[in-house]
Structure 1
Amino acid sequence: MRRPTIHDIARRAGVAKSTVSFALNGQPGVSESTRRRILGVADELGWRPSSVARSLSSAQAGAVGLVLACETADPALMRLVAGFESVFGPREVGLLLQFAPRTELAVYHSWWHQRRVDGVLVVDVRVSDPRIALLGELGLPAVTLGRSALPSVSLDAETAMRTAVGHLARLGHRRIARIGRSPELVHTAEHTAAFLDAARAMAMESAVCVTAEPDAAEAVRRLLAARPRPTALVCDTDVMALGALGVAAQLGIRVPGELSVLAGEDSPLCLLPHPALTAVRVDLHSYGAAAAETLRCLLAGDRPQDRTFGPPCLVERGSTGPPVS
């Protein structure tokens, strides 16, 4: 089916194409009765503005980009994407998503040269992140989800770790450990520092951090083989926490009787095991929306302030309890 054009509207309404253009774009020079008649004809024909034509006239792409250095998207990322869409979707701004585990920088170069996007959102910010310098050099507007030299919206790591460690301290735990994501991530570095600070403030007997890479299950086994072993684990993600429950079951360690497990993010996955996982909840949909709103303001010519999103809250379930005395 051929899409209706302003020529079709002009012919049906009996006016010039220029008059139709003025009416549809809300410009002066058209009487109110003529404008209403033209809008009525446009509605009858099912006419919709062309995003291509609009981008050509405004020198804007009408899209923002997200490049992922992975091959698949996990549920947490999809909640962030839903938050992005809640801001850009109603404004008819498209979200261009590309998986590029080995060619991130090339994608940014291509998008900039081809004017494919007006700006980008950057996730999983790394400690020494070449994307930050490149985007600054290109002048491509960007907002990072995590602290960087670019405008950013970051999670409240201090409150998250104080909430998790405080919960375990109140239960009586004094030997705790944390399993984190890649140490290259800004997110991991901030949460590691916050975890150790909270443990010192609450006079923990011991508090250690290990990385889940390359094998989260093996990291859990090493922790549980230590003597004395930790009585509680804080896992950065829901998937890591589920893995910790699995390893504990294989080793015959009861949860929460002999080991408490706490997830650093909450999701429906936390409700699947028995016992269900205690978790620190962050509204990832709203976090994504906050980052998207910051990028929208940047594209509108404003200078958005860096923002810390939160605070997180504790959702207590069956996987945490007092340690065995």
Structure 2
Amino acid sequence: MPGTICCGSTIKRGILLKTKKVTITHIAEAMGLSPVSISRALSNQAGISDELKAAIVKKAAEMGYIKPKKHTPARILVLHQKPYSHDNSNFSYMVQGIELFLQKAETDYSIEFLDKDHQNKLILPYRLSRGFKFDGVILIGRFNLEYAAFIQEQIANLIFYTGYSPAYDYDSVWFSFLHAGYKECKYLLDRGHRRIGFIVDQGTYRNKEMKTGIISALEEHGVAVEEELFVQRDETLRTRLSKLISGGQLPSAFLCDHDFTAVELIRELQEYGIKVPGEVSILSIGNSEVSAFSLPALTTMDLNIDYSCRTVVATLLKRIAEPGKPAENIAILGTLVERDSVREV
């Protein structure tokens, strides 16, 4: 027919217009053969004569047929440094969530525990030491920068999940403890609390962020920041609490850096005969299983772990597809879960 070029394009008024993609079915119809025969010929399988095979290949080229590329799944290595014996329930959810979304993305993946000794001695993870190749790596938790650089020499595409540090030049997904500290402190302020304490391991970056959020909320509401109410979570905790109680300086509420810290604090206060939330309100972070079973059940911040796991996998796959893109630091905001451990003043 004049003005027509095979099945893949048409000439109209001197302009070449693309039509639908040429398929095996189109070639079969054009040659009066079955799609199975065409498929065998184009895949160089047995059962088709060399002469017919050559004719099919020629016709496919004339019609503009492009052989579909085989999907090669991304190969992902997941490394974590927390033994399951130290599990706090949320860690298991993180690992399981990463695994779930790697499966949904149809990747090939391996998960390995890597202890601190391997990091300090720059020892390769087992599968890398055995010659396995990976397109990307997910590091769950805080890995030192020297080891991260060591791993990146083997696997170019790297992302951190939690364990964030401002020293990282890598993609990272973590939880915004700055936001959590601010939101929880404001929650207490809105309920009349003015003397607010913080039980915390102040050496970790996440808790420095949380402390900044708490102070920001206090200052915005014109409430004095009482640093003496920010108590280190260590062997001195009991002594500091005793002094606050005996001196009549116990705050009306405490924020805790973790659900387990809150449970420990409730036990300590109960030993002094102090009721929660009757005399002291308590908020925590994590929404782990223990928070719902605590007495009283804890008001806490859910970290949205499921969404964060999906974000980790999606961000790493984007990095693999676009290696030159700028690094991203994605902070997931938490959601407050109200239970029984806070009262209005």
**If the length of structure 1 is used for normalisation, what is the TM-score?**
0.71
Where 2:273 maps in the other structure, the secondary structure is: coil
- Alpha carbons of 1:219 and 1:121: their partners in 2 closer, same or farther (altered >3 Å)? farther
- Who is 1:131 aligned against? 147
Equivalent of 2:284 in 263, 266, 271: 263
**Structure 1 stretch 129-138 or stretch 174-183: which is displaced more?**
129-138
Task: Measure how far apart 1:287 and its partner are.
Answer: 1.2
Q: Distance in 2 between matches of 1:220 and 1:290?
A: 40
- Alpha carbons of 1:181 and 1:85: their partners in 2 closer, same or farther (altered >3 Å)? farther
Q: Does 1:84 align with 2:98?
A: yes
Equivalent of 1:204 in 213, 223, 232: 223
Task: Measure how far apart 1:318 and its partner are.
Answer: 0.9
1:1-325 aligned within 5 A: 28-29=43-44, 62-70=75-83, 72-90=86-104, 91-105=106-120, 106-108=122-124, 111-116=127-132, 118=134, 119-125=136-142, 129-138=145-154, 140-145=156-161, 146-147=164-165, 148-181=168-201, 183=203, 185-208=204-227, 209-213=230-234, 215=235, 218-219=236-237, 222-223=240-241, 225-226=243-244, 227=247, 228-302=249-323, 303=325, 305-323=327-345
Q: Distance in 2 between matches of 1:154 and 1:83?
A: 14
Task: Measure how far apart 1:77 and its partner are.
Answer: 0.8
Do 2:173 and 2:332's aligned partners in 1 also have CA atoms closer than 8 Å?
Answer: no
Do 2:181 and 2:212's aligned partners in 1 also have CA atoms closer than 8 Å?
Answer: no
* Aligned-partner residue type, residue 191 of structure 2: L
Do 2:74 and 2:107's aligned partners in 1 also have CA atoms closer than 8 Å?
Answer: no
Q: Distance in 1 between matches of 2:202 and 2:90?
A: 16
* Aligned-partner residue type, residue 81 of structure 2: L
Task: Measure how far apart 1:290 and its partner are.
Answer: 1.2
Q: Distance in 2 between matches of 1:64 and 1:212?
A: 34
Do 1:83 and 1:285's aligned partners in 2 also have CA atoms closer than 8 Å?
Answer: yes
- Alpha carbons of 1:182 and 1:175: their partners in 2 closer, same or farther (altered >3 Å)? closer
**If the length of structure 2 is used for normalisation, what is the TM-score?**
0.67
Offset from partner CA, 1:12-64 (integer Å, 9 cap, x none): xxxxxxx9xx97xxx74459x9xxxxxxxxxxxxxxxxxxxxxxxx8x99341
Q: Distance in 2 between matches of 1:177 and 1:289?
A: 34
* Aligned-partner residue type, residue 240 of structure 2: R
Do 1:65 and 1:96's aligned partners in 2 also have CA atoms closer than 8 Å?
Answer: yes
Task: Measure how far apart 1:297 and its partner are.
Answer: 2.3
- Alpha carbons of 1:95 and 1:112: their partners in 2 closer, same or farther (altered >3 Å)? closer
**Rg comparison, structure with higher value:** 2
Q: Distance in 2 between matches of 1:241 and 1:318?
A: 13
- Alpha carbons of 1:202 and 1:112: their partners in 2 closer, same or farther (altered >3 Å)? farther
Do 1:81 and 1:285's aligned partners in 2 also have CA atoms closer than 8 Å?
Answer: no
* Aligned-partner residue type, residue 122 of structure 1: L
Q: Distance in 2 between matches of 1:111 and 1:278?
A: 42
* Aligned-partner residue type, residue 134 of structure 1: F
Q: Distance in 2 between matches of 1:76 and 1:107?
A: 28
- Alpha carbons of 1:85 and 1:262: their partners in 2 closer, same or farther (altered >3 Å)? same
Q: Give structure 1 regions of 4+ aligned residues with deviation exceeding 6 angstroms.
A: none
Q: Distance in 2 between matches of 1:220 and 1:89?
A: 46
Q: Distance in 2 between matches of 1:117 and 1:199?
A: 51
Q: Larger RCO: Structure 1 or Structure 2 (Cα < 8 Å, ≥ 6 residues apart)? A: 1
Where 2:112 maps in the other structure, the secondary structure is: strand
Where 1:95 maps in the other structure, the secondary structure is: strand
Q: Distance in 2 between matches of 1:110 and 1:140?
A: 18
- Who is 2:28 aligned against? none
Offset from partner CA, 1:230-289 (integer Å, 9 cap, x none): 221111111111111111111111111211110111122111122210011121122122
- Alpha carbons of 1:169 and 1:298: their partners in 2 closer, same or farther (altered >3 Å)? same
Instruction: List gaps (5 residues or longer) in structure 1.
Output: 1-18, 34-57
Offset from partner CA, 1:283-319 (integer Å, 9 cap, x none): 1122122112222222334436514343322111110
* Aligned-partner residue type, residue 157 of structure 2: P
Where 2:286 maps in the other structure, the secondary structure is: coil
Among the aligned pairs, what percent are the same residue? Answer: 19
Instruction: List gaps (5 residues or longer) in structure 2.
Output: 1-35, 49-71
Offset from partner CA, 1:84-114 (integer Å, 9 cap, x none): 1122123142231214143235344665444
